[in-house]
Amino acid sequence: MRFLAVMAGATALLVAAAATTIFVLDPFQVLRPARGTPNLYGVPEFQIPGLARFYPYDAVVIGTSTSNNFTPDDLAAALGWRAMTCALAGSSIDEQRAALDLALRTGKVRDVFWGLDPFDFLPPDRRGFPYYLYGDPGWRTAPYFVNLGALEHGLRTLMTPAAARVTLAQWNANRAWDRSYVYGRQQVLTAWKHRHTIGPTPLPENAALAAAAVDTGIVAVIRAHPSVRFDLVLLPYTALYYRMLAVERPREFEAFCRIDTAIVAGASALPNAAVFNFRDADEMVLDLDRFHDLLHFSADVSREIVRDVAAGRGRVTPSSFAGVCARMRADAVRVRAE
- Could you give the CA distance from residue 106 to residue 160 in angstroms, rounded to a whole number? 31
Q: What is the mean pLDDT of residues 312-325?
A: 95
47 or 162: which leads in pLDDT: 47
**pLDDT(34) > 80:** yes
Kindly give, in sequence order, each residue whose CB lies less than 8 Å from that of residue 292, ignoring residues fewer than 6 positions away: 181, 182, 183, 184, 187, 188, 191, 298
Say if residue 16's pLDDT is above 80: no
Q: What is the pLDDT of residue 4?
A: 52
Q: For residue 12, give every residue at least 6 positions away whose Cβ sits within 8 Å of its Cβ, in sequence order, or none.
A: none
Model confidence at 169, pLDDT cuts 50, 70, 90, reads confident
Q: How confident is the model at residue 73 (pLDDT cuts 50, 70, 90)?
A: very high
Q: How confident is the model at residue 12 (pLDDT cuts 50, 70, 90)?
A: low
| Dist CA 155 CA 324 (whole Å) | 53
For residue 3, pLDDT beyond 80: no
Radius of gyration of the chain (CA): 22
Nearest to 210 by CA among 161, 247, 171, 260: 260
Greatest Cα-to-Cα distance within the chain, rounded to the nearest angstrom: 76
Q: Which residue has the higher pLDDT, 302 or 165?
A: 302
First to last CA, the chain: 71
Query: Is the distance from CB of 335 to CB of 287 less than 8 angstroms?
Result: no
Identify the band that residue 147 occupies on the pLDDT scale cut at 50, 70 and 90. Answer: confident
Model confidence at 216: pLDDT above 60? yes
Confidence tier at 84 by pLDDT (50, 70, 90)? very high
Task: Report CA-CA distances (Å) from 176 to 71, 86, 172, 246, 326.
Answer: 7, 11, 7, 30, 32
Over range 117-129, report the average pLDDT.
76
List Cβ neighbours of 325 (8 Å cut-off, separation of 6 or more).
253, 256, 257, 260
Give the strands of the sheet with 59-62, arranged side by side. Answer: 83-85, 59-62, 111-116, 229-234, 273-277, 315-316
